[in-house]
Amino acid sequence: MKLSTYIIRRVLVLIPTLIGLTLIVFLLTRAGGTNMIISSYLNPHLPYAVQRAMLVKEFHLNDPIWVQYYYYMVGLLQGNWGYTHTAIYSGPVTTAISLFLPNTIQLSIIAFIIAVVIAIPAGQESAVRKNSAVDQISRFVAFVGISLPVFWLAQILSEVFATPTVSPALNILPLSGTVDATLMAGVPWINSIGVSNPTHIMMIDALIHGNLPIFFSSIRHVILPAATLAFTSIAGIMRYMRASMVESLSQDYVKTARSKGLPEKVVIKVHARKNALIPVVTILGLLFAGLLGGVVVIEDLFSYPGMGLWTVDAILGYDSGGIMGTTIVFGLILVTANFIVDLLYAWIDPRIRLGE
Amino acid sequence: MEKEMIKLNQGPLLEVKDLSVEFLTDFGNVKALNNINLQIKEGEFIGIVGESGSGKSTLAFSISALLPPNAKVSGYVKFKNDIITSPEISGFSTVKMKRSQRKILTSTMANIRWKGISMIFQGAMNSFNPVYTIGKQIEEVFYIHTDLPKEEVKKKVVDLVKTAHLDPSVLKSYPHELSGGMKQRAIIAMALALSPDLVIADEPTTGLDVISQAKIIEELKRLRKEGKIKTLIIISHDLGVVSQLADRVLVMYGGNIFEEANKDEILEKPFNPYTFELLNSYPSILKTDQILKGIPGNPPDLTKDRPGCVFAERCEFAQQICFETKPKLMEIGERKSYCHFADTIAKDPIKFFTSNLTAGEGALDLLERSDISKNKTLIKLENLKKYFNLRGSASGELFGSISSKKFVRAVDDITLEIKEGEILGLVGESGSGKTTLGRVVLRTLDVTSGHLYVNFSKDSGDDFKDIAKVKEKSKLFKEYRLMTQMIFQDPYDSLNPKMLISDIVTEPVRAHKVTKDPMEMEEMASYTLSLVKLNPPERYMDRYPHELSGGERQRVAMARAFILKPKLLVADEPISMLDVSLRASFLNLILSLRKEFNLTVLYITHDIASAKYISDNILVIYLGEGIEYGSSNDLINNPLHPYTKALIKAIPDVYGMKEFSETDIIGEVGNAIDIPQGCRFYDRCPYRQEKCKNEKPPKRGTENHWYICHFSQEELENIRKNKNQK
């Protein structure tokens, strides 16, 4: 099978997945009853009965459920995702997504890069020097990473690195937000909730506007949440990489490579590692999705204005528009991550690409 | 002193001196090699034969300086003038080696590896890295060891694969796209890249089908003639393969060299009891109706210290002294033998081996064949077909176009009769559909079309019922399940590692609810275990599969299959995973069960020699179709179908040398998807004519020995003569 055929097939398989995703989100919110759906649209200063009748008509709540789903899907496809009314933002869901998603993506990608850059070489080295000191230490760290709850770790890190009363010597990082409040004041391209224009990613916007202090400040602000987020994934990736590499090193083709007289470096990097990466790549996608779960907790802990913070606000405030919007976005990211993993997998492993 | 120097320089190409290797493991120290001495001169082809655990692979790794870090070495291996394995530089000591020392070692090794010594691994499996193309992996050798520019390397690689009779297009292929035989040729090409002085071939044909194996052997012979391979060490568990290629043969067992002699001497007159008994374990198509004895017992546990000979516990000729002191490798003329009685044997081998012989495991009358033709028919297959749909996945069903739907014709139109008490050999290459046929007969796979008549009569009468389409829940089907059992190829995977032997053996009893009485069940298990010669049964009942050897496990599998006294046993390659010395006794076990209980056996194998040993009749199957059927002696001595002729010629028999070439069979085994319109064998038949392409061949010969072909034997003979004249 050609790679292009493979991609087309894989894309076609996405369609039922996406329908399933929207259907589940739709049914979950509808299960909450009419009041839950309309509550966030109500204006306490206007008569209740009139508003309710209008909202029921707007959302087709008296129609059969599949008709409601039809209108919901039409709305989704036309970009009409409803409204959200939370403490940090009030307005159309689509606008909220465009404001918050870039920050979250930035945070996850940085965390993901930190995790991969540390975990893959560590896992590899662990496997090559099995049972050595390096191996033991990295396995211990991995064990700690898997066992620690993320909120507790976040607490510890912020106490150590960002609380002058606890550790004045190590108080080198900011505690919350995306940029220092003092720098933010009066800057026209940053709005009231701390989201910048035009890309909504503070680092990039700072560079666009040539504001270096804000740029560096934003980097300092992303370190703690990203490191916390990364730490939990490092453990998983490293353990997979180690196991996979140990197996790969015991294969016959590694023996062949050694007997060919290849330097050990080449044997490990060229012959063993690429094979070892194949199973690791599959779980990377899932771990990236796992990061998103961590994002919700971490953004809340560090008051980092992103999807996570908004999600928590929406859930606490029974904001149906926000809940549906964030759930669909997270779902889409998960599906996309899996899709990309499948493509990567086909690209790395010729047996998948060409095998029927 | 000076004299010695000169002698050293003209010494052997490779010298192994007092080499012992121990592996330090969590389960104790495994003494893999004991005091090995060996010299190889330039131009020699040496064969090393041994079963699993004999130390042959460890010896190969020592010679190629690839011992793992948990190895403890004493003695040394010298290649030309360089020590390549010694206590200081190998295995264990490499872990704590100083950086500067390691650097020197690496640079010496870099010179020796592939330029001096190259290896041909078992290419059918995993020797090529699956994620790189063949071309890249061969080129790599040049980039590491030479300074040639890219274009020149590319040219050299193309020349290389041409010398190995491969099309240069394979260079762009990934390993999984090539057949086993082609991969093995590519491996050979890679090994010859830098024209090494010494080539080590470690099981070069294991995992290949018989015909590809014969072709690889021919290939190696040709490369020797052309001077491309100068010196070769061939390592195999199969004496047949080794004897085809080697001038001198070393027989290894339990980490010792047991015998070393020229090939012909060793085959004709072994000077060592182990060699003698090993030779008695190979089924041969040339030996006529001679009982194979095999070697009783199990492979030795090499973690144990023993004062005497490592083979003593299994040796039929062992005396008191064998258990008490270790023998020495005695030199008898040019030959060597590791035995206390080597001298006595050398004086008169026949006298020694016949006078000291104790009674063998199998009684000699096992091979006596009663006339089964008068027996009632147990199973009749009529036009039985099993097709597999090629698009199995859900997305494939959705998006694959209807017109491109393809079938694998695993079993296509087989008509056959099996008598009660018959052993029918089903012989074919991998992919021929033999396993599928076995499973269809058991109805663990559904029948696509055709009839499967089973004789349910309890007495001598006939009571045939067609069970091809019977539902699984019906009474008839359950009755059939009780009548049939199966044993599988891999005794390691077919027994649940978390179950006790007694539970494994009694599982069918519980599944069929024959009895619920635990005492009765235990009695049945104990009786069946003793039937399969696991004595005493109590010793086995409370153990787990991992505590048993491969041979014992396969007997447990047999006990499980036999506990309900089935009428039909399907044995799918039951001996192919066992060591050679254990195979014969397992075959004898099947024969004795047949004799005692009138068991009917469908014996599925790729090994036509073992099929001949055990079967009454043989059906040769090719791409799902039976192409020749006859009594086993008839079919082997007088094969009629061109494919059978080639198959028999391809067997590397210990007792016969044959030239095998493209004139016997063309190409490699086809697939059962794109089947030629006319004769299935058309693409590979050396006798093919125009009409074979589009016309289905008729059945020829007699009811007792038929084959499917357009031509009679005379016509085939004429075609061959005409071809030779051209």
Residue the block writes with tokens 């009428």: B567
Residue B437 CA to residue A114 CA, distance in Å, equals 55
Helix axes B180-191, B150-163, angle to 10 degrees: 130
Contacts of A256 in chain B (CB under 8 A): 119, 121, 127-129
According to the model, what pLDDT value does residue B394 have? 43
Mean pLDDT of A46-55: 86
The 10s digit of each residue's pLDDT in A199-222 is 888 888 888 888 888 888 888 889
What residues does B622 pair with on adjacent strands? B625
> Does residue A246 sit in helix, strand or coil?
helix
- Phi first, then psi, for residue B119 (nearest 5°) are -125, 140
Helix (H) / strand (E) element for B484: namely: strand B484-487
Mean pLDDT (chain B) is 85
Residue the block writes with tokens 């490293």: A238
Contacts of A263 in chain B (CB under 8 A): 106, 110, 144
Which of B121, B131, B141 minimises the CB distance to A252?
B121
The total of other beta-carbon atoms located within 10 Å of residue A255's CB is 22
Instruction: Assess B118–A contact: CB distance below 8 Å, yes or no.
Output: yes
According to the model, what pLDDT value does residue B369 have? 67
Residue B49 CA to residue B266 CA, distance in Å, equals 12
CB burial string B673-682: b at 16+ within 10 A, e below: eebbebbbbb
Mean pLDDT of A128-137: 86
Q: Residue ranges of chain B with pLDDT lower than 70?
A: 1-10, 123-125, 288-289, 356-370, 390-406, 656-659, 661-663, 669-672, 726
pTM of the model: 0.81
Residues 235-274 of A with CB under 8 A from B: 251-253, 255-263, 266, 271, 274
> CA of A320, closest CA in chain B: separation in Å?
35
Q: Which amino acid is at A88?
A: I
The single-letter DSSP state of residue A190 is B
Instruction: Assess B63–A contact: CB distance below 8 Å, yes or no.
Output: no
The 10s digit of each residue's pLDDT in A262-283 is 888 889 988 999 889 888 887 8
According to the model, what pLDDT value does residue B240 have? 86
Q: Which residues contact B267 (CB under 8 A, 6 or more apart)?
A: B243, B279, B654, B655
Contacts of A130 in chain B (CB under 8 A): none
Cis bond before residue B566 (omega within 30° of 0)? no
Contact A256 B128 (CB under 8 A): yes
Contact B130 A253 (CB under 8 A): yes
> Does residue A85 sit in helix, strand or coil?
strand
The answer to whether the Cα torsion of B615, B619, B620, B622 is positive or negative is negative
Tell me if A229 sits within 8 A of A107, measured CB to CB: yes
> CA of B720, closest CA in chain A: separation in Å?
40
Contact B144 A258 (CB under 8 A): no
